[in-house]
Amino acid sequence: MKLSDYSIEKIGVFIAGDSPGWPYRRGVDLVDFFNKFGSRDVYGEGFPTRRVYAQTKLADLNNKPQLRNIFKELLDPRLWIDLDRNTNGEYSVEVASNALNELIKYDGYEAYRDGNFYKIRELSGTVIEVENRFGESSELNEVVIEEQIQKCREKIDLADYSGAITNARSLVEAVCLKIIKEVEGEIENEGDLIKIFNQARKLLNLDPKRQDINDSLKQVITGLSNIVNGLAAMRNKMSDAHGVSYKPSRHHAKLAVNSAKTLADFLFDTMSYQKEKGTIKK
């Protein structure tokens, strides 16, 4: 996610709370805010003005994975509870998000509410978003996944459609490997996407051969297998990994990337659900 300099300047004011309708943050509050996203600042003598500090820190994070999480923190509805109550609704998180959207739409993004919190999505509809479900890991974490997503976006924007397909395939492989390592610890078929997916699917109790799964869910699971089979085939025939035998178009790349992200989101939702049920180990 990359913002214009103009947007960064204005959003820095929002973060500091120097614009009407936005919660006010003291200097120490701003340090705490940005330290959540990797900074290691300490508030003290020589601290710049609050607005300049917020703008500078935001500029440092521009086009980095943490930037999307900043907006979730910035638009946390709980910050407006007292402000909303004291102004009879004149100032609310909905009003603030509308103001933010009026600004970032020129950069090609918008904030939208998903449940209790806000997320950022692209207005162009290039690729859908995948929630960050990854725990800290030396092999894979949310920053690594967001970087993979960013690579897909960049390659589609640059018309490198075969490269985007390769990254989409890599994303699914990384997700399946993460699940296998977390649940079982051993990988039987590293490098074979279809076999890796089948191993992860079995660990998540998604084997369509199970008798206790209803027919409609079996169809969905079979559809997931078709996505994996298709990604593997697209990578071989249309990607840059083995030489391109058929040149993909933009809509082919978007299909591959969106399918991969949908699959990744479903697999991690399923793992979380199964852990809560106690049907797989935590």
In this structure, the answer to whether residues 98 and 185 fall within a common structural domain is: no
| Structural domain boundaries, residue 222 | 142-277
In a domain, 269, yes or no: yes
- Which one has a higher pLDDT value, 75 or 146? 75
In this structure, the answer to whether residues 110 and 147 fall within a common structural domain is: no
Whole-number Å distance between alpha carbons of 92 and 77: 8
In this prediction, residues 76-90 reach a mean pLDDT of: 80
In this structure, the answer to whether residues 147 and 268 fall within a common structural domain is: yes
Whole-number Å distance between alpha carbons of 270 and 133: 11
In this structure, the answer to whether residues 148 and 270 fall within a common structural domain is: yes
Q: Please, which residues bridge with residue 112 across strands? A: 119
Whole-number Å distance between alpha carbons of 121 and 47: 34
pLDDT in tens, 129-178: 444 444 444 445 555 566 776 778 788 877 888 888 888 888 888 888 88
Number of domains, the chain = 2
CB atoms within 10 A of CB 151: 19
Whole-number Å distance between alpha carbons of 94 and 15: 16
The three-class DSSP label of residue 144 is helix
Decide: 214 and 253 in contact? Cβ < 8 Å: no
In this structure, the answer to whether residues 78 and 202 fall within a common structural domain is: no
Which of 122, 155, 176 corresponds to the end of one domain? 122
Indicate left, alpha or beta for 239 from its phi (over 0: left) and psi (-120 to 50: alpha): beta
In this structure, the answer to whether residues 114 and 165 fall within a common structural domain is: no
The model's pTM is: 0.51
Whole-number Å distance between alpha carbons of 137 and 129: 21
Residue 190, pLDDT score: 65
CATH of the domain at 239: 1.20.120
In this structure, the answer to whether residues 100 and 184 fall within a common structural domain is: no
The three-class DSSP label of residue 23 is coil
In a domain, 12, yes or no: yes
In this structure, the answer to whether residues 12 and 55 fall within a common structural domain is: yes
In this structure, the answer to whether residues 99 and 148 fall within a common structural domain is: no
Whole-number Å distance between alpha carbons of 134 and 139: 11
In a domain, 130, yes or no: no
